[in-house]
Chains A and B, each alone.
Chain A
């Protein structure tokens, strides 16, 4: 069906960004970002409902029909991603206000929100577009605004973190662009559906193999897959808390979605999973990421860094699902994108509250805090249980779907890696819980005055924690949705 709905999802935040620069008032800027999030979320949900009803949404920009013009093409997989990205933006909004006022000097706040809105635009665009070059354009929009956002962190280390991300991210973007260029040289088209149709012949083409390799490596950097993950922990730890909460839940997920899209449809499973050992390589790298990321998380003293390393491990679960090259694997990857997005966003919001109170979030200082703010730490426990994958949280659902996909493929090493990573998650999460509840509290801390939680953050956290539990006990709709999305991607009838 031809409709302009998919375009509007991306266009509204794109137009709001310059508007924010014009109004300049911090509160108005925040409200405008919220408006962008609300409208894209509403439209994304509308897209999802329409896709469920009608199968496919297509929008031709300027009326130029594909493959000549840019096409926005929404099926179940990217409808889910659109909902996730805009939904997370919406959930972060209440928390962002107080947190940003504390962490960023007032004259720059409007620029911050402008960048954040652009970043949102870029991520939504990457998910919505059906044009390979357009993916690159939006990738760069989200990345460039992302570099600026990270650099706004309040310590000087943020600049270094941002620079490292800039270098790595640019390399990644360039790789991706090179790959797309090769595909264009090979087929003369940039439309993703058209590419998928044109590439069905000539599997032994060296150009195609090079293109696949460039695209996978380029995207791996944006996903922060081991061993090209080094930019992520510093970037997440130094960025303003609201940025981390938003980007941790969305940026790597969207890149993973693009990888899934290229592997499953554009380049095609035959090349990616049969001719080339890309699937196998992704599975192994994901396994290493899951285990190594969790081990590194155990040794972190800074709460945000701990969560960042945990993210690297959790990204492994997503890539593992993609690397399997089956519809069940794709379903597991999409399920975990949603669940991990919600869980990790909540945890970074908690980190944001702690930074807002104390200026930093060092695990060793958590001792005695649960007595002063029981709800905040209850939310932490819910998030931690989600990371571990305890039943009753969304993390369990992800793990269930992923294990089913792995056992069906008899991928026993990966099964073991998933389980080991879960057990390591117990260690890094429970270390924090133990220090918080049973550690010797530091008397030098100012207690009562600093135990407030901003109203907005409370609102964000309540919704996110509620979602984690809700997705853990009532998830059949989500799993059915992702299963259908996976089946559509791989062209399997269900």
Chain B
């Protein structure tokens, strides 16, 4: 059976099954895990096929005249799908532990929306034309909104309003006209190797269109359309971890990359300089977001601004319009995902076990939660880009691309940003291990929610250890991903 249909069907069926299994938590967790495991097997099972040059396709039916609901499994999409599908089951284990530990309600709704979000992510990964991509892009926005407002408090509702407001505004206000316009210019909206817009419009029109696309893909969180991401941090941490560090934000930058490579075409961008303005925007976002991250005391807010900064690495890689940089961008989708999900897992574990949300409260906590803080440190090093961790490769490739394009300011930007990464991530680990504990251990005090005074539950620590080890493994095992990207972006 067509792998494309299977990859779309599994999360959708999981959502349905969870909805019907709602009464029994054990059954619900089992269904989510089985769905996640199956999806990971299916997606990773498709690697040999795609590397071998096959492009499994499903042309469902015509949405509009000449525009099909079209799905094509190509290397870039496979990479994004693998990231989302691989991390989903791990997050499901973590989420079950987190919701239990944090005492959240409405868990059935939570897992249904979660599965729907993964369904949307698969649709985005597999979309064969812009209209299909747009359809699932909006499904992703809408299915994650109930997760952001999950707590139902005034603060959560406000966060949800900003979230929905910015994402819908950019997608309907900028992305939709961009897609219609591109479709009119090119006569098609299909993703094709080498792009569809070469020679179809003047450089000025291309530059405007490119800006419409990049700002319209608001999930890429380019400044000034980045505010939704910190606002989304009111969500329970598993949501922040998988969706707002991986599936949702990577959907944005993945779409940016795919539009750059397969709608505009890298050669076309290079010759017309249509992407030059957006390069500056991305460079500005990298530095500005890092500087804001430095000033955040709330741990999740700091991680959110770090994400905004890191996303723009990928946008920058796409806008440089060279193969090496674009491959680096693709690689960074994977590497950043592994690193950032670990960081969020740790933040959630700290919150559940000790109810700490501020960086300034973490003094001495590393000695109580050594595994969590060790994982945090590993993931931080990966984000910074220090060997032997996965993040090294993507920065390496991006820098190579910048050198090849003789864009020395980009090399400088990447270097400065790495320093800023060190400045806002490593002090957290240092506080945890080196500073003396802030509060005296209250001996004999009643322990709330039955927490012991150390690590969080095993269902939370195991996933975060797993992804931290993944950061290490990604350094050694990056080769298939690089081969895949070289196939996608020759």
**Residue on B nearest A434 in the bound complex, by CB:** B157
A370-429 residues with Cβ-Cβ distance < 8 A to B are 385, 388-392, 397, 399-401, 403-404, 407-408, 415, 419-420, 422-423, 426
Name which of B160-168, B191-199, B306-314, B338-346 contacts chain A. B160-168
Q: A475 vs B61: C-alpha distance in the bound complex, in angstroms?
A: 10
**Is the CB of B50 closer than 8 A to any CB of chain A?**
no
Q: Does A28 contact B (CB under 8 A)?
A: no
In the complex, are the beta carbons of B176 and A399 less than 8 A apart?
yes
B180 in contact with A407 (CB, 8 Å): yes
A404 CA / B61 CA spacing, docked (Å) = 21
Given known contacts A403-B176, A419-B173, A476-B62, A438 and B184 CB-to-CB distance under 8 angstroms: no
Is there an interface contact between A476 and B63, defined as CB atoms closer than 8 Å?
Answer: yes
- CB contact between A475 and one of B63, B135, B157 (< 8 Å): that residue: B63
Taking the nearest CB of chain A, how far is it from the CB of B5, in angstroms? 15
Q: Tell me if A483 is interfacial: C-beta within 8 Å of chain B.
A: yes
CA distance A415 to B180 in the complex (A): 11
> If the complex has contacts A423-B168, A423-B169, A438-B152, are A408 and B63 also in contact, measured as CB distance less than 8 A?
no
From B65, B67, B165, B180, contact of A403 by CB (8 A)? B180
Would A415 and B161 be within 8 Å (CB), given that A391-B134, A404-B184, A426-B172 are in contact?
no
Contacts A392-B139, A438-B152, A483-B65; is A423 near B173 (CB within 8 Å)? yes
Q: For B135, B149, B183, B184, which residue has the most chain A Cβ atoms within 10 angstroms?
A: B135
- CB atoms of B135 and A392 under 8 A apart: yes
Contact B63 A385 (CB under 8 A): no
Residues in B neighbouring A400, C-beta threshold 8 A: 64, 131, 176, 180
Q: A391-B134, A392-B135 are in contact. Are A419 and B177 (CB under 8 A)?
A: yes
Let me know if B180 and A390 touch, CB within 8 A.
Answer: no
Partner of B172, one of A423, A475, A479, A483: A423
At the interface, yes or no: A101 with Cβ under 8 Å from chain B? no
Q: Mark A177-213, 1 if CB is under 8 A from B, else 0.
A: 0000000000000000000000000000000000000
CB of A388 within 8 A of CB of B63, answer no
Q: Is the interface of A mostly helix, strand, loop or mixed?
A: helix
Give min CB distance, A478 to chain B, whole Å: 9
A422 to B176, CA, bound (A): 11
> Is B164's CB under 8 angstroms from A479's CB?
no
Contact status B168-A388, CB under 8 Å: yes
Q: Number of residues in A with C-beta < 8 Å to the partner?
A: 32
Give, as a whole number of angstroms, the nearest-CB distance from B189 to chain A.
10
Asked if A404 and B152 sit within 8 Å, CB to CB, the answer is no
Closest chain B CB from A257 CB (angstroms)? 22
B180: chain A residues at CB < 8 Å are 400, 403-404, 407
Any A CB within 8 A of the CB of B142: yes
B177 touches A388 (CB 8 A): no
Complex interface bits, B49-65 against A, C-beta within 8 A gives 1, otherwise 0:
00000000000011111
Tell me, yes or no, whether A65 is within 8 Å of chain B by CB.
Answer: no
Chain B positions within 8 Å of A399 at CB level: 176
Binding site for A on B (CB under 8 A): 61-67, 69, 131, 134-135, 138-139, 142, 146, 149, 152, 156-157, 160-161, 164-165, 168-169, 172-173, 176-177, 180-181, 183-184
**14 further interface pairs, Cβ-Cβ under 8 Å (given A408-B184, A426-B172, A472-B63):** A400-B180, A403-B176, A404-B180, A404-B184, A419-B176, A422-B172, A423-B172, A430-B161, A430-B164, A437-B152, A438-B149, A473-B61, A474-B63, A476-B63
Contact residues of A with B, CB < 8 Å? Answer: 385, 388-392, 397, 399-401, 403-404, 407-408, 415, 419-420, 422-423, 426, 430, 434, 437-438, 472-476, 479-480, 483
Q: Supply 30 A–B pairs (Cβ within 8 Å), ascending by A.
A: A390-B138, A391-B131, A391-B138, A392-B135, A392-B138, A397-B63, A399-B176, A401-B64, A403-B176, A403-B177, A403-B180, A404-B184, A407-B180, A407-B184, A419-B172, A422-B173, A423-B169, A423-B172, A423-B173, A426-B165, A426-B168, A434-B149, A434-B160, A434-B161, A437-B152, A438-B157, A475-B63, A476-B62, A480-B65, A483-B65
- 3 closest A-B pairs by beta carbon, nearest first, are A476-B62, A391-B135, A403-B180
